[in-house]
């Protein structure tokens, strides 16, 4: 078991590391790394500058105090520093006191991240045990996308989506993290632009930067959380190479309607024709099997052939530490495009650092694909919390999918409100960490006992 202190020490080490990297340039100086996409006049710019100074200076002082010396910066890559910059809001939370001083407290109600708070899905460990017994000498040899695993995915997509994917067009990856990295690596050149919708998942910006490409953020509609098609249309330039769409969306829980997806496809077709090269749609479908109220899922890939379908089993099974997922190229993508992308994706997987799932997970995939967390129970937790929080006076919408709620913070500063909740032994993610200032995110992976215990604290915090 990890003790509170060792978690805290890990957090401090990470904070030291980040601060060390940040200290390679003077606090307050425009580094040029993010200024290309965060204008100096934007509040985000000042927030990041303040944060850099905050983290760098406090860590500098702490280290100077404990070691009697100043930290040396030994991270040589300015490129990785730009990626660290984009990670600061998340790391400030994940390595700072709001999370680390509270997460190990007894009886804490932890709604911060999509981590399991119950034992793993029945059958998961059995499948791993069963498939860990070697059936031939190559059982644990180097693996790429194994034909058996490709067939499992093709059959699964046929049964679930009614679409015949070619097994050869399925690329097994270490979850969606790797699938996104590999897909971006296969299509991007330095300087290309990639659009993502804000609020986004934590790491889109960093994964784009990692490819030496330029992230372009477009806000969704503030009222409906639907894609803002006019804003997307306006954001596309002749350098745009891809757009990332995540439905159902983390953190809003919004599932984009057919009409929006058709509109998006029209826009992408128009600009691809104008640019004389395809703009790819990267459809992050991490939560596509976590949908409520019996709704069907419409994949954004359905209307646009130049699409990458990206999936991870980490959400459906709630086992993100056992990493398996995939990229699937849809059958309506022209054959010659798929043929050209096939070796590009393969080499991108290799140079990304062998981004294939391990042998055991691939062998076990036929069994794993049939398992899922209890979606009915998740829906029950959604309804329970939405009902209780609304009755207390919180403004909260009911998500169509994912395992997140996104209530409005009763006070403008969501970080301060998260601190008030922490005083009630409740940990939530401040909205500013996911580009939703004025909100806070709750993960429904918290267990029933945590929810029961948290209700009084939520009721108290809204009145103080
Ligand atoms: C929208 C979204 N995409 C991708 C990922 C990455 O998933 P994995 O860690 O299973 O690769 C996550 C995880 O939180 C996510 O929420």
Tell how far the Cα of 367 is from the centroid of ligand 1, in angstroms: 21
Q: Which atom of ligand 1 is nearest to the CA of 246?
A: 1
Rounded average pLDDT over 210-222: 98
Range of weakest confidence among 25-34, 239-248, 349-358: 25-34
Distance 188 CA to ligand 1 centre (A): 21
- What percentage of the chain carries pLDDT values higher than 70? 84
List domains and CATH numbers for the chain: 4-85 (no CATH), 109-119+374-461 (3.90.1150.10), 124-368 (3.40.640.10)
C-alpha 176 – ligand 1 centre gap (Å): 6
> So what's the pLDDT on residue 395?
98
pLDDT tens-digit map of 161-213: 999 999 999 999 999 999 999 999 999 999 999 999 999 999 999 999 999 99
Atom of ligand 1 nearest to the CA of 402: 16
Cα gap 166→379, rounded to integer Å: 33
- Taking the centre of ligand 1 as the mean of its atom positions, its distance from the CA of residue 287, in whole angstroms, is 9
Q: For residue 221, is pLDDT > 80? A: yes
Nearest alpha carbon, ligand 1 atom 3: 286
Per-residue pLDDT reduced to its tens digit, 301-315: 999 999 999 999 999
Per-residue pLDDT at 326 exceeds 80: yes
Please work out whether the CB of residue 314 comes within 6 Å of at least one atom of ligand 1: yes
- Whether the pTM exceeds 0.95: the reply is no
Find the helix packing angle between 448-461 and 414-423, rounded to 10°. Answer: 120
Q: How far is the CA of 424 from the centre of ligand 1 (A)?
A: 29
Q: Would the CB of 285 count as within 6 Å of ligand 1?
A: no
Work out the percent of the chain whose per-residue pLDDT is above 90. 82
The region of weakest confidence among 68-77, 125-134, 173-182, 443-452 is 68-77
Q: Is the CB of 357 under 6 A from ligand 1?
A: no
- Tokens 């998006």, residue? 264
Residue 47: which pLDDT band, with cuts at 50, 70 and 90?
very low
How is residue 327 written in tokens?
A: 């990229």
62 C-alpha to center of ligand 1: Å?
34
136 alpha carbon – ligand 1 mean position (Å): 33
Query: pLDDT digit string (tens) for 104-147?
Result: 999 999 999 999 999 999 999 999 999 999 999 999 999 999 99
pLDDT at 73: 62
- Residue 201 Cβ contacting ligand 1 at under 6 Å: yes
Which residue from 391, 356, 345 is spatially nearest to 144, judged by alpha carbons?
Answer: 356
pLDDT of residue 48: 47
Q: What is the mean pLDDT of residues 147-167?
A: 97
Given the DSSP bridges, would you call strands 440-443 and 214-219 parallel, antiparallel or unpaired? unpaired
Pocket mutation for ligand 1, best pick of 116, 197, 201 (most atoms within 8 Å of C-beta): 201
């Amino acid at each position: 078991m990890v003790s509170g202190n060792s978690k805290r020490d890990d957090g401090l080490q990470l904070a030291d590391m980040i601060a060390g990297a940040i200290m390679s340039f003077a606090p307050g100086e425009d580094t040029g790394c993010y200024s290309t996409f965060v204008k100096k006049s934007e509040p985000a710019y000042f927030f990041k500058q303040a944060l850099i100074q905050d983290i760098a200076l406090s860590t500098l002082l702490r280290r100077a105090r404990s070691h009697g010396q100043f930290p040396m910066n030994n991270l040589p890559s300015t490129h990785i520093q730009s990626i660290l910059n984009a990670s600061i809001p998340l790391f400030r939370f994940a390595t700072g006191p709001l999370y680390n001083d509270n997460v190990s407290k007894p009886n804490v109600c932890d709604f911060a991240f999509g981590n399991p708070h119950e034992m793993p899905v029945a059958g998961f460990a059995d499948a791993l045990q069963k498939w860990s017994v070697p059936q031939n000498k190559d059982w644990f040899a180097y693996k790429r996308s194994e034909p058996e695993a490709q067939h499992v995915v093709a059959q699964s997509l046929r049964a679930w989506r009614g679409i015949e994917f070619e097994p050869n067009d399925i690329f097994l990856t270490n979850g969606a993290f790797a699938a996104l990295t590999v897909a971006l690596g296969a299509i991007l050149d330095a300087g290309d632009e990639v659009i993502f919708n804000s609020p986004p998942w934590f790491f889109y910006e960093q994964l784009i930067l990692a490819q030496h490409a330029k992230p372009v953020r477009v806000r969704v509609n503030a009222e409906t959380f639907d894609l803002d098609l006019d804003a997307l249309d306006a954001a596309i330039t002749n350098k745009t190479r891809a757009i990332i769409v995540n439905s159902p969306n983390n953190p809003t829980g919004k599932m984009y309607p057919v009409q929006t997806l058709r509109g998006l496809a029209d826009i992408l077709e128009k600009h691809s024709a104008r640019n004389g090269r395809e703009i790819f749609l990267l459809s992050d479908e991490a939560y596509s099997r976590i949908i409520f109220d019996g709704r069907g899922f419409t994949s954004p890939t359905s209307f646009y052939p130049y699409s990458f379908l990206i999936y991870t089993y980490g959400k459906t099974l709630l086992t993100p530490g056992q990493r398996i997922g995939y990229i699937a190229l849809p059958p309506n993508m022209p054959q010659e495009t798929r043929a050209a992308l096939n070796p590009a994706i393969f080499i991108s997987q290799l140079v990304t650092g062998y981004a294939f799932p391990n042998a055991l997970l691939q062998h076990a995939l036929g069994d794993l694909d049939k398992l899922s967390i209890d979606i009915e129970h998740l829906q029950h937790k959604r309804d329970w919390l939405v009902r209780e929080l609304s009755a207390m006076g919180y403004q909260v919408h009911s998500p169509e999918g994912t395992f997140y709620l996104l209530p409005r913070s009763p006070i403008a500063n969501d970080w301060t409100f998260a601190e008030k909740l922490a005083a009630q032994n409740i940990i939530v993610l401040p909205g500013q960490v996911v580009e939703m200032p004025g909100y806070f995110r709750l993960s429904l992976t918290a267990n029933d006992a945590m929810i029961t215990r948290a209700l009084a604290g939520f009721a108290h915090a809204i009145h103080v």
